[in-house]
Structure 1
Amino acid sequence: MKLKRYLWIAVCLIALAVSMLPAYSEDFFQHHREFRRFLQHHTGFQVSTLGALNVGVYEAAATLAELKSHGDFGLGTFEGLDGEMVVLDGKFYQIKSDGVAYPVKDNSKTPFSAVTFFRQERSLRLTGRMNYQELRSQIDEQLPTSNLPYAIRLKGTFPSLKVRSVPKQTPPYSPLGEVISQQQVVFELQNVQGTLVGFRLPQYLKDVNAAGYHFHFITSDRHKGGHLLDGAFLNPVVDIETLRDWQIMLPSNTAFEEASLE
């Protein structure tokens, strides 16, 4: 009799648990989906490392189609170090060494890039005219910490900007520093409207990506741009998102595997 009673209690408990499972599962998975969306909107995704790019690993590591699944805002370069990449509002542009911005297809490839799904969290309204160093200092003063990555967007009219691009390289590839010092093409833009797309990364990531500020520019008409070297900024509005996660996809190619990255 006791055995039957225990079996009956066990059956009742199982039935109760099963009856509660759908509601529990729905609630659980809803929270899980919300958490994933939170992470997606506060996550930086990077292809390869700056260290690899520095030593000349310019071979493709991902397609733009793959990159799109991880962000709609960011920067980088293209296979063979072929110009500067700007990712804005989900569209990809290639700033070649003529300073012109070209739309690019999903099957284009990148050896190094960083993107995120940009969602503005705060805006800093800075006053007065300032150079690039002063801009960075004023932003730093208003950030809550220097130990987290930030995605940063500046829109407006800029009194002047100095930007650069580089021509496509052919194997055997020279280190990045040599390419920049010997082949970069610099453009001076005056009273130009457009958007600066970039990141501010902590110093502890310096061997992974560019520590500090890194911006690429594209004009409002999407015709010109480049990697920001210097500029003048008048009453800039700086939109910022704090990134709570930073992911890296390492290349699957021989060049990366055999590179001296110690």
Structure 2
Amino acid sequence: MQSVKIGSLILFLFVALSCEEKKKLDTTTSTEAGPVIEKNDTYYHYSIWWAFVNKVFDADLSVAELKTKGDTGLGSFNLLDGEMVMIDGIAYRVREDGTISEGADTDKIVYANAGFFENDFNLTLEVKEGMDMEGLKSQLLDKLPSPNFFYMFEIEGLFDYMKCGGLTRQEPPFEEGLDVLIPNRPVFEGNRVSGTIVGFYCPDFIGNINVKGFHFHFISDDKKLGGHVMDFKATENIKVGIDKKTDYHFVLPDNADFENVSLEKEFQYKKNDAATDEQ
């Protein structure tokens, strides 16, 4: 009888310790109010840019899952049915007609960059004679500690002019890639717009896994203008929050589209060509 009691006690302790170790490994826990998300300092990247360029427009990442990877980000919804701008844990969808809504937790995203944004340092960019997209990128490059790391940005300001691009919803079988769709994308413009630019910087060594250099999306404070930032004009100072990232994690879509895609096309935004949205 004594040996049975000792055996039961050992089994109980083993189960208890195993459960405790599992808790330590879990990145999220649940309560009646919903999941409690444990923040980390990782740059999360879903689906590679090369796949996105080669017409992998249908994937499996839900908005709910993305929220466990970050509270700030950018990307595109499935079938290119809207550009995604994520800020303060809300994934906004900017559809091809320019309307903006909050993505539901069950909505799917085909491509995303995200992370939990925490300021490593702040900048106030002085705008003396006006600033545009190229001026912003130039000043940021001058002020970044090194071009060899990854960075996230939250850039707040009042913009005299803002030009954003959207995407046109696609239906399978997908026939046109980003090399055709981006130069012909819908364009949304506004004047005297206050809002936030969400962005990322990747060093050139990222290759075709992600967008090289800067990639920015915008959402206005009134949620009436948003999308991929093509250009802007500003004559008032701009506040920039910067989060340096050294941990980079990408996840590939586990579906037939990615399994069978031919990664033959290469496409990166070009410099000094705002007319076609290319950086």
TM superposition score normalised by structure 1? 0.83
- 128-137 vs 49-58, which deviates more? 128-137
2:227 aligned residue: 226
**Are 2:261 and 1:259 equivalent residues in the alignment?**
yes
CA distance in 2: counterparts of 1:41 and 1:146, whole angstroms: 22
CA distance in 2: counterparts of 1:40 and 1:96, whole angstroms: 29
1:239 aligned residue: 241
Aligned residues: 228
What is the one-letter code of the residue matched to 2:61? A
CA distance in 2: counterparts of 1:198 and 1:41, whole angstroms: 18
Cα deviation, residue 181, structure 1: 2.5
What is the one-letter code of the residue matched to 1:245? D
2:64 aligned residue: 65
SS at match of 2:183: helix
Cα deviation, residue 119, structure 1: 0.6
- 215-224 vs 107-116, which deviates more? 215-224
Cα deviation, residue 206, structure 1: 3.2
2:43 aligned residue: 44
Which protein is bigger by CA-based radius of gyration?
Answer: 1
**Are 2:156 and 1:155 equivalent residues in the alignment?**
yes
1:145 aligned residue: 146
2:107 aligned residue: 108
The residue correspondences of 1:86-97 to structure 2 (distance < 5 A) are 86-97=85-96
Cα deviation, residue 111, structure 1: 1.1
User: C-alpha offsets along residues 10-58 of structure 1, whole Å, 9 cap, x if unaligned?
Assistant: xxxxxxxxxxxxxxxxxxx9xx99xxxxx95421111101100101000
Q: Where does structure 1 differ by over 4 angstroms across 4 or more consecutive aligned residues?
A: none
Cα pair 1:61 1:112 within 8 Å, conserved: no
CA distance in 2: counterparts of 1:236 and 1:148, whole angstroms: 23
CA distance in 1: counterparts of 2:239 and 2:125, whole angstroms: 6
Pick the structure with more helix per residue: 1
SS at match of 2:257: helix
Cα pair 1:123 1:238 within 8 Å, conserved: yes
* Overall identity of the aligned pairs, in %: 36
**Are 2:126 and 1:127 equivalent residues in the alignment?**
yes
CA distance in 1: counterparts of 2:67 and 2:207, whole angstroms: 25
